[in-house]
């Protein structure tokens, strides 16, 4: 028998009020402003923008504050907000070759045009806690040096001159959009890249790591990693021409992978590509490795049955909002479902009990 | 329904034949200005003219696209917030704004600027608004580039023992 029940309104209301109080914490400690989050927790903000799939640092900072620093909850808030926005169109593809680079390194070529520019990186720090940060916020000004302003060419272009690396030929097809149509298999590369750039960082990192450990052998070199800002240009129908509507910071990673050739392709280097909103280096490298692993079919490689080669497995489990939605719903009331299970187990036990008694009697 | 009519008005009033490079440049410049900046400079330079909305400011998004391997097929990278509006001055000039972020007041200031740049006030506004914005953006960009340049690695070979 199904009995509809209501209740809990007051408990829910009080729980939310308490949540607000806990979010604020000790009121004798100054409140954190959205601007402080945006400026001082920038990498958390970047992750929320990347996985929330909406570039707006102020909104992402607000979401982090509201979510008490729970980044997946913050991403959830951004995804929900995103669905309320009317879409005014799509930009022209951003030109990362014209990026104003804060950082640009290559693990494959020491001397390359534009040089190895480290940028504001954690690399080469000793990972020792800096207790000075707990005491005061004073920082020395960063050093400067005269910059040569010119576009920084991509590393893969050099290899292209020799024909040693596969080309990424230019085309202008309209890409599929998983925010408009459900993700379906088989997923072409454009769709995979869209899914990966908004995928959970931890999941993508784990998948990428698995390829390094030998599940789908492809030894990747970071051909290039660059972080910086690019203008976003869009055709404005009522003007009849395109304008730059703003600027975004991106992290781009191109991996170079050895490839011994297949029936259709000569031995050459192949490429994996990662491009993510914000300064999000770990994610961009992970994305490039997973992208490369998922390309096995189009390159005529063998299916080794590795998890990172399985597009359906990777893409259907990479979205942390879908995952957390389904995972966390199981804590919500399932009284009726469970009641049914309970009845069933009791019945089975009863039958089993009867049987064992009758067997003993024989 | 009303928005469709407004939209048609906007489309009908577009200028198709003129050289659009200067307009493209000032709209791009203003779209990248920090919050509140265009409005402040505009108000310091001139008194705002009367206008009628063709499209009241609205907040939305645009899908940012990129290319696989930076040069290949396009894919959808993610959205960016965007505010747009269109207005017409009493003297007939149409101004448009499409700017990153969610500031309706900034969009209004940009659209007024766009319209005024088609009037005789253009020279004043070029000097007191656009040139200022350009100088600030160049300075900001150069400052970052200079910090990046200071982190460029100078390789040197260690003296080897064999000679």
Residue with tokens 């009519």: B5
Contact A239 B141 (CB under 8 A): no
Q: What's the residue count for chain B?
A: 163
**CB contact at 8 A, B100 and B32:** yes
Q: Which of B63, B73, B150 sits opposite A90 (nearest CB)?
A: B63
Tell whether the model's pLDDT for residue A68 goes beyond 90. yes
Question: Tell me, what's the pLDDT at A299?
Answer: 84
Where do the domains of chain B lie? 2-145
Residues of A in contact with B16 (CB under 8 A): 240
- Selected residue with higher pLDDT from A339 and A75: A75
Contacting residues for A54 by C-beta, under 8 A, at least 6 apart: A60, A78, A79, A81, A82, B61, B78, B79, B80, B81
Where do the domains of chain A lie? 9-82, 96-137+149-324
SS3 A302: coil
For residue A263, what are the β-bridge partners? Answer: none
Residue A117 tokens, joined:
């520019």
Tell me the per-residue pLDDT of B95-124, one tens digit each, with 9 for 90 and over.
999 999 999 999 999 999 999 999 999 999
Euclidean distance between CA atoms A350 and A170, whole angstroms: 69
What torsion do the CA atoms of B94, B100, B106, B107 make, to the nearest 10 degrees? 20
**CB contact at 8 A, A165 and A156:** yes
Q: Which of A93, A111, A149 sits opposite B74 (nearest CB)?
A: A93
Euclidean distance between CA atoms B44 and B48, whole angstroms: 10
Euclidean distance between CA atoms A74 and A33, whole angstroms: 16
Tell me the per-residue pLDDT of A267-321, one tens digit each, with 9 for 90 and over.
888 899 999 999 999 999 999 999 999 998 888 888 889 999 999 999 999 999 9
H or E stretch covering A339: helix A335-361
From the candidates A147, A268, A315, which should be mutated to test the interface with B, based on the most B CB atoms within 10 A? A147
Euclidean distance between CA atoms A223 and A252, whole angstroms: 11
Measured between CB atoms, does A246 come within 8 Å of chain B? yes
Question: Tell me, what's the pLDDT at A267?
Answer: 83
Measured between CB atoms, does A357 come within 8 Å of chain B? no
Residue B150 tokens, joined:
């200071």
This model of the complex carries an ipTM of 0.90
Euclidean distance between CA atoms B11 and A326, whole angstroms: 45
Cis peptide before A245 (omega within 30 of 0): no
From the candidates A55, A96, A116, A140, which should be mutated to test the interface with B, based on the most B CB atoms within 10 A? A55
The stretch A127-150 carries a mean pLDDT of: 84
């Amino acid at each position: 028998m199904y009995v509809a029940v209501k209740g809990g309104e007051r408990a829910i209301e009080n729980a939310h009020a308490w949540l607000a109080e806990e979010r604020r914490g000790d009121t004798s400690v100054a409140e954190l402003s959205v601007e402080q989050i945006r400026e001082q927790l920038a990498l958390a903000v970047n992750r929320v923008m990347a996985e929330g799939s909406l570039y707006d640092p102020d909104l992402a900072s607000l979401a982090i504050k509201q979510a008490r620093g729970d980044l997946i909850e913050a991403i959830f808030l951004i995804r929900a907000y995103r669905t309320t926005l009317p879409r005014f169109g799509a930009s022209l593809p951003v030109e990362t070759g014209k990026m104003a680079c804060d950082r640009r390194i290559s693990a494959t070529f020491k001397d390359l045009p534009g040089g190895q520019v480290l940028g504001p990186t954690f690399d080469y720090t000793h990972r020792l806690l800096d207790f000075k940060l707990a005491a005061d916020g004073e920082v020395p000004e960063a050093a400067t040096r005269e910059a040569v302003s010119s576009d920084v060419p991509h590393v893969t272009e050099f290899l292209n001159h020799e024909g040693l690396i596969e080309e990424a030929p230019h085309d202008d097809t309209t890409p599929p959009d998983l925010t408009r149509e459900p993700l379906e298999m088989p997923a072409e590369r454009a769709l995979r890249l869209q899914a990966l750039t908004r995928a959970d960082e931890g999941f993508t990192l784990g998948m990428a790591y698995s390829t390094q450990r030998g599940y789908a052998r492809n030894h990747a070199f970071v051909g290039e990693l660059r972080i910086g800002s690019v203008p976003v240009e869009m055709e404005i129908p009522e003007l009849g021409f395109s304008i730059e509507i703003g600027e975004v910071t991106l992290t781009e990673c191109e991996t170079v992978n050895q490839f011994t050739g297949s029936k259709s392709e000569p031995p050459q280097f192949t490429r994996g590509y990662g491009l993510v909103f914000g300064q999000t280096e770990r994610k961009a490298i992970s994305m490039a490795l997973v992208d490369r692993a998922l390309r096995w079919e189009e390159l005529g490689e063998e299916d080794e049955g590795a998890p990172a080669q399985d597009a359906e497995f990777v893409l259907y489990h990479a979205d942390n909002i879908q995952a957390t939605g389904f995972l966390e719903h199981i804590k919500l009331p399932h009284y009726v479902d469970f009641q049914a299970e309970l009845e069933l187990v009791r019945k089975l036990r009863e039958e089993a009990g009867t049987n064992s008694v009758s067997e003993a009697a024989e | 329904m009303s928005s469709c009519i407004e939209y048609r008005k906007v489309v009908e009033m577009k200028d198709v034949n003129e050289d659009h490079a200067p307009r493209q440049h000032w709209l791009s410049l203003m779209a990248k200005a920090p919050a509140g900046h265009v409005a402040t400079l505009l108000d310091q330079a001139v008194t705002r003219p009367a206008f009628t909305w063709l499209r009241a400011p609205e907040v939305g998004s645009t899908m940012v696209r990129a290319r696989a391997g930076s040069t290949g097929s396009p894919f959808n990278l993610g959205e960016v917030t965007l505010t747009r509006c269109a207005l017409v001055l009493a003297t007939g000039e149409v101004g448009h704004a499409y700017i990153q972020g969610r500031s309706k007041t900034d969009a209004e200031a940009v659209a007024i600027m766009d319209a005024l740049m088609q009037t005789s006030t253009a020279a004043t506004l070029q000097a007191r608004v656009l040139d200022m914005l350009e100088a600030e953006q160049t300075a900001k960009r150069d400052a970052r580039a200079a910090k990046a340049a200071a982190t460029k690695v100078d390789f040197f070979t260690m003296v080897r023992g064999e000679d």
